[in-house]
Structure 1
């Protein structure tokens, strides 16, 4: 897997984790945080928890599958990405239209932070 693909995967898992973290087991949450957030290797995590690299790998793979399953069923990340794209398009339109521009841009920025 190329460095770019790894980064894409890490970003996706982190985004999915933001939405669905509480739906995972405590162990899955912990291992994903170590692996994707803190950039620990499988060996480092295994050493920390005194279990095999293979066991860590299986927990992480299963957690990734669960995140993808939740996204497939609930689509929260997809909806958020679509909403942000629409807000970006709206912001561009508003920047071109001077009438009520400041008020509209303030509302768009408020929605972006939400």
Structure 2
């Protein structure tokens, strides 16, 4: 399951950099959960060709992530936003100075990820 989630994230962030043919086959495998045989029959290519294309696309998408780190940055910002959300829930139970300090630290991390 984790592999499918990873492939989905890679595609969400970098899928537009693939060709239409690559996108169609990758989407069929990752999002539509079609078998290699079904995809091969639908696109008129061999099962091995489908397997190789999916593997090559995943490698290409991963290389974009290795260079650009968009998913890593997204996850870090998401984590910081979740911390802010939790902090707002307990804001009444902590001191104003502690709230201010925590908010400033989290917002600094977010800004750092965005620059």
- The two structures share one fold, judged by TM-score above 0.5: yes
1:92 counterpart (79, 86, 89): 86
1:39 counterpart (18, 33, 37): 33
| TM-score, normalization by structure 1 | 0.78
Aligned match of 1:12? 6
Runs of 4+ in structure 1 deviating by more than 4 angstroms, as ranges, are: none
* Other structure's SS at 1:71 match: helix
Question: How many residue pairs align between the two structures?
Answer: 94
Give the greater-gyration-radius structure (CA): 2
Structure 2 unaligned blocks of 5 or more: 97-115
Structure 1 unaligned blocks of 5 or more: 1-6, 100-114
CA RMSD of aligned residues (A): 1.4
